[in-house]
Chains A and B, each alone.
Chain A
């Protein structure tokens, strides 16, 4: 078998050195009742590369790729064009097959990338510092809530109705076990966010307020008032960014006063991949750095005075503090963080701003065009590259009809908020630089047909 270099000759020579009769003798500590006598029955034996390719390609062909036609899904995962160089760089063996940089002298490649990544994320979010990535946006969001709890020593978190329902669901699952109290309501199909409700709810028991920016319906709101009120009451403002490209066009949560900013980096460098692996982004104010979860890369010098980088502040982490760690996280999303960073470097500030304006211009054009379709209202006043339509009929069957006609037209709110009848006619449409004017026309036409 092609991944097993030992020959039978090698094996017997090695058994001689060991002084064992056969490999089975090495498993002497396994009780005989637990030992299987041969390969597990009912499973196929080894296969050639060719046959594995055939098997998996057949499964791949049963899926409709986003690139196969007009595509408008968002809600926490976005189709952006990733430049060809990114995938080549991340497949270099020195990046792909490297490990966590615990021996920094031979891992400066990984470490310098992480330092650059941390800087990019901190600047994008308008924060002082950022970590070396989390699993994804939803786990980063929950870790931010627990971090706020450690800092404020309070247990009540207010979740905005604009927060992605999966992120809410994760927080609710975890809070059930940690005893944190969460307040949350599902959103309404209106142009206004729930900012007034959030302001009214903040009090001296509040640990944090969690807002998504732009929110699940694509609405954008100023976070400054929330930050001020939170701080007056000793609470923290946590902002969640599920579409980082937006920050090429709109103000950062950090500059509006957010204490912790988390998000999903998938839009840059990391493809849709049916939901994972993605890359969690985590940034905060300098004064909270010792409460951050996850790995941190810091600058230092070596014995010859040369600048170098190392993982640092490890006493926060599980391998040092064990049950007193800030989190149980070990693995990060290193290769995805690399992809994000390479894509950001290729874009640069100019490129990110241009990409953002291209996204927004197409989304704005789409909103104008779709508003003209009978039975369609655009809910949003403001948006970046994603907005919500209120249809004259329930959206979920419409999405299926559009799919039958070759258009993946968006995410129905019925899918994300099952059983919430007030949202059933809602359809969230994302428009990135990968959508053409023709695609938008095709969506409009298909919607017209589906709604009559």
Chain B
């Protein structure tokens, strides 16, 4: 059933096929790899199973009578398939990964070892709670660290990722306002905010209005002027997405509270201030923490994340179910059943079971390793690294906020100064050839051709120096209008991919070639 052992398809629509110079299409350690459906088949399996026991069928009349269409491989073929695919990926383990707002710090392997202890990995969420006291205690310990680091009295551990945490915070705000009979329709969001902020507010039923942020920071006067009885709250990122600390946040919080609203803080950039500033001291009412950013749980190619939300005293009563509580030496899980006794105003349950336990173990392992002194060092080194990059490159790239003062944990550059027709995208693709994953591009929207560089604290000075040299050389090529940059990357496993074609004619699943031909 395999059609193309090397996985290399000829061009669609007549453009030339590049000659790899080899028969297989492989280039030494860079190996092409086909899809499992092209190399496996429906009878092959890499698993040995016991024979079924003799017993009557109880499937009713619904036994499967058609093939599913899955492909199987033996174990050696499976390991090879995924090993080859892995080698087409960049990762933090490989090199500097300066994605602004993502906090691509080293993922400690101790985290992985601890998460895999059977006492954590092999427990079912619905076991009787006296058989999982250690798990509940771990969640309680992590909760204590998160509350203490942020200076907030309460935390909801169940949200599954940052955006889910944002939803948790906004729903708590909505529940609090409804409880006092004061339903409001508007949430204010800076135009520099991450897209999840307005998406979350809309998902929760609010109308979103933009707050201008022309000089990087929020226009405080404009925000305060807009407050009123229809504004439920504001969503602020601090430090913000331009890498700057919102110095007016306490004043903003005071004004929002005076107007009867609440302050949601997007905690994606907490790495800049952990151990040095507590959001609770700035009047924040709810803040999600990305355990997969500040607290080193692995990004895994896009997830899973974990987004616990810390709450002020005003919002704590509305926090979602379930959560862990103590009764003397015993730990309890407060679910729907005990809510009426222990948490009557909760806005309800956001997700099945209790949260991302696997990420809690990893995050606590990291937090215990660093401790209070280490975490303070984390934010210091993260901010030092970002400023080193900012000052080393501000002669080469336009840095719109560099004159005004230091940045926090990320440095922001614009595409001002590029030759005609040369863009931030070309710089990003040029960096790939130099052996780096590009920084975040085209975000935040308030800076033209934005390039947001977040080194994190786990980079050595030598790694930073190498990146500075590489980015400087690519930027010089963009300013000089070097045409080879327009067709970069040249050396990656793939050249630039046709994203327009992918969206225009979406092919989202593999189809047998016979059927694919018939459809044309």
In the complex, whether A405 has a CB less than 8 A from a CB of chain B is no
Q: From residue A349, how far is it (CB to closest CB) to chain B in Å?
A: 4
A56-B364, A60-B119, A365-B55 known; A276 and B358 CB under 8 Å?
yes
- Across the two chains, which residue of chain A brings its CB closest to B65? A251
Q: 22 A-B Cβ contacts within 8 A?
A: A6-B461, A35-B276, A57-B117, A98-B91, A103-B438, A108-B85, A109-B85, A109-B87, A136-B160, A173-B171, A249-B63, A275-B352, A276-B160, A276-B306, A276-B357, A304-B495, A319-B194, A329-B163, A348-B70, A350-B43, A382-B58, A399-B128
Q: Tell me the complex Cα distance, A92–B354, Å.
A: 28
Q: Tell me which of A65, A325, A337, A408 has the highest count of chain B C-beta atoms within 10 A of its own C-beta.
A: A65
Verify B349–A164 contact, CB threshold 8 A: no
Those 10 A-B pairs whose CB atoms lie nearest each other, nearest first? A348-B72, A305-B11, A335-B300, A60-B119, A93-B93, A275-B353, A62-B134, A173-B348, A382-B60, A275-B125
- A151 in the interface (beta carbon within 8 A): no
Does B89 sit within 8 A of A, measured CB to CB?
Answer: yes
Asked if B334 is an interface residue, CB under 8 A from chain A, the answer is no
A 93-134 contacts with B by CB, 8 A: 93-101, 103-110, 112-113, 115-116, 118-120, 122-124, 128-130, 132-133
B278: chain A residues within 8 A (beta carbon)? 34, 36, 40
Q: Which residues of B contact A85 (CB under 8 A)?
A: 46, 75, 78-79
A22-66 Cβ-contact flags toward B at 8 Å (1 or 0): 010111111101111011111111110101110111111111111
Q: Among A38, A99, A351, find the residue whose CB has the most chain B CB atoms closer than 10 A.
A: A99
| B180 in contact (CB, < 8 A) | no
Q: A331 near B199 (CB under 8 angstroms)?
A: no
Between B105, B118, B487, the greatest number of chain A beta carbons within 10 A of the residue's beta carbon is seen for B118
- The reply to whether B391 and A318 form a contact with Cβ atoms under 8 Å apart is no
Q: Is B466 an interface residue (CB 8 A)?
A: no
Q: Is A195 positioned at the interface, with any CB of B under 8 Å from its CB?
A: no
Neighbouring A residues of B71 by C-beta, 8 Å: 345, 348-349
Query: Contact between B195 and A325 (Cβ–Cβ < 8 Å)?
Result: yes
Type the 1/0 row for A301-343, where 1 means its CB is closer than 8 Å to any CB of B: 1111111111011110111111111011111111111100010
| B23 CB–A CB distance under 8 Å | no
Which B116-159 residues have C-beta < 8 A from chain A? Answer: 116-128, 130-135, 137-138, 141, 145, 148-149
A residues in contact with B369, CB < 8 Å: 1-3, 46-47, 49, 52
User: Beyond A273-B357, A354-B49, A403-B128, is A42–B134 a contact (Cβ under 8 Å)?
Assistant: no
B57 interfacial contact with A, CB 8 Å: yes
Assembled-state Cα–Cα distance A275/B33 (Å)? 34
Q: A63-B132, A94-B89 are in contact. Are A101 and B59 (CB under 8 A)?
A: no
- Whether the pair A322, B195 counts as a contact (CB closer than 8 A) is yes
Q: Which of A29, A47, A221, A346 contacts B245 (CB 8 A)?
A: A29
Contact residues of A between 166 and 204, Cβ < 8 Å to B? 166-167, 169-170, 172-173, 176-179
Q: Which of A18, A271, A328 contacts B166 (CB 8 A)?
A: A328
A326 to chain B, nearest CB (A): 9
Chain B, 271-312, CB within 8 A of any chain A CB? 273, 275-278, 281-282, 292, 296, 298-306
Shortest Cβ distance from A367 into B: residue: B58
B383 touches A26 (CB 8 A): yes
- Inter-chain contacts of B315 with A (CB < 8 A): none
**Residue among B12, B247, B321, B377 making CB contact with A4, cutoff 8 Å:** B377
**Contact residue range for chain A?**
35 or more
Query: Known: A83-B46, A275-B352. Contact between A30 and B460, CB under 8 A?
Result: no
Chain B residues 441 to 496 lying within 8 A of chain A, measured CB to CB, are 443, 457-461, 463, 487, 489, 492-496
* Residue pair B353, A303 in contact (C-beta under 8 Å): no
Question: Do A60 and B120 have beta carbons less than 8 Å apart?
Answer: yes
For B50, list chain A residues within 8 Å (CB).
Answer: 358, 433
- CA separation between A336 and B115, bound complex, in Å? 14
The minimal Cβ–Cβ distance linking A62 to chain B, given in whole angstroms, is 3
Pair A274/B55 contact, Cβ less than 8 Å: no
A298/B506 in contact, CB under 8 A:
yes
Given known contacts A6-B385, A322-B195, A345-B40, what 16 new A-B pairs fall within 8 Å (CB)? A5-B458, A18-B388, A40-B148, A40-B149, A45-B373, A49-B369, A59-B137, A99-B302, A108-B494, A113-B85, A274-B125, A276-B351, A298-B507, A303-B496, A322-B199, A350-B43
Which partner residue on chain B sits nearest A135 by CB separation?
Answer: B160
A364 interface hit (Cβ, 8 Å): yes
Q: Is the CB–CB distance between B70 and A328 below 8 Å? A: no
Chain B interface helix/strand/loop/mixed: loop
Interface string of A3-20 (1 = CB under 8 A from B): 111100011011101111
Residue B359 at the chain A interface, CB threshold 8 Å: yes
Whether A103 and B148, one on each chain, are in contact in the complex, defined by CB atoms closer than 8 angstroms, is no
In the bound complex, do residue A289 and residue B387 qualify as a contact, i.e. CB atoms below 8 Å apart?
no
> What 0/1 pattern do residues 130 to 156 of A give for CB contact below 8 A with B?
101101111100000000000000000
Query: Which of A39, A52, A272, A322 touches B121 (beta carbons < 8 Å)?
Result: A272
Within the complex, the shortest CB–CB distance from A168 to chain B, in Å, comes to 9
A234 within 8 A of B: no
Contact B9 A362 (CB under 8 A): no
Question: Across the interface, do A166 and B304 meet the contact criterion of CB distance under 8 Å?
Answer: no
Docked Cα-Cα span, A88 to B194, in Å, equals 34
Cβ contact within 8 Å between B302 and A110: yes
Q: Which chain B positions have C-beta within 8 A of A350?
A: 42-45, 72
Write out the residue numbers on chain A whose beta carbons fall within 8 Å of the beta carbon of B43. 348-350
Residue of A nearest to B43 (CB): A350
B520 close to A (CB within 8 Å): no
Say whether A205 faces chain B, with CB atoms less than 8 Å apart: no
B62 near A318 with CB under 8 A, answer: no
CB-nearest residue of chain B relative to A105? Answer: B492
CB of A118, distance to nearest CB on chain B (Å): 6
Q: B329: shortest Cβ distance to chain A, in Å? A: 11
Chain B contacts of A110 at CB under 8 A?
Answer: 89, 301-302
Decide if B387 touches A26 in the complex (CB within 8 Å).
yes
Candidate in A73, A79, A88 with the most chain B CB atoms within 10 angstroms: A73
Residue contact A59 to B58, C-beta cutoff 8 Å: no
Least CB distance, A268 to chain B, in whole angstroms: 11
Q: Which residues of the other chain, A, contact B282 by a CB distance below 8 angstroms?
A: 34
CB–CB B90/A98 < 8 A:
yes
Q: Mark B385-401, 1 if CB is under 8 A from A, else 0.
A: 10110011000000000
Q: Is residue A390 contacting chain B, with contact meaning CB distance below 8 A? A: no
Q: Which residues of A contact B204 (CB under 8 A)?
A: 177
